[in-house]
Each structure stands twice: as structure tokens, then as C-alpha cells.
Amino acid sequence: MGMLDNEPGAIAENDEFWLGKELPFPARRVIDIEGKDEKAVALARQEPLRRWSPQ
């Protein structure tokens, strides 16, 4: 489970998949990992703007 912390460039902004959205994904879908910094810690501590709900 993770939180999307960037704005996807290939799709239009929407309520289902955008910055701050909580979503499940496997490790193989991780493109890059950056070192922990204050911004990353703050993002991890906040509530997602929208929770993922399985359908």
C-alpha cells in the first residue's frame, strides 16, 4: 500500500487516481526510490486525500 506523491502526466486529473491517493501496488511497479527526507516523512504521516477502496 502506498500513497501517490506525484501527478501522472499521461492522464487527465481525476478523483480516482491523483496526487494524495492511497493505492495498493506490488514492489515490481516501483520505478524509483529516493532517500528518506523531511518531506517524505511528513507525507507518510498524513492521511491520504482519498483512501483506496477494494471493489
pLDDT in tens, 2-54: 878 777 778 887 777 778 888 888 888 888 877 788 987 887 788 887 787 77
| Residue spans per domain, the chain | 1-55
pTM for this structure?
A: 0.50
For position 49, what pLDDT does the model report?
76
The pLDDT score that the predictor gives to residue 40 is 79
48 class by beta-carbon count within 10 Å (0-12 exposed, 13-18 middle, 19+ buried): middle
Length of the chain: 55
DSSP one-letter string for 15-48: SSSSTTBEE---GGG----PPP-HHHHHHHHSPP
Q: Give the pLDDT score at 18.
A: 78
Q: Are 50 and 21 in contact (CB under 8 A)?
A: yes
- Predicted pLDDT of residue 23: 82
pLDDT of residue 9: 79
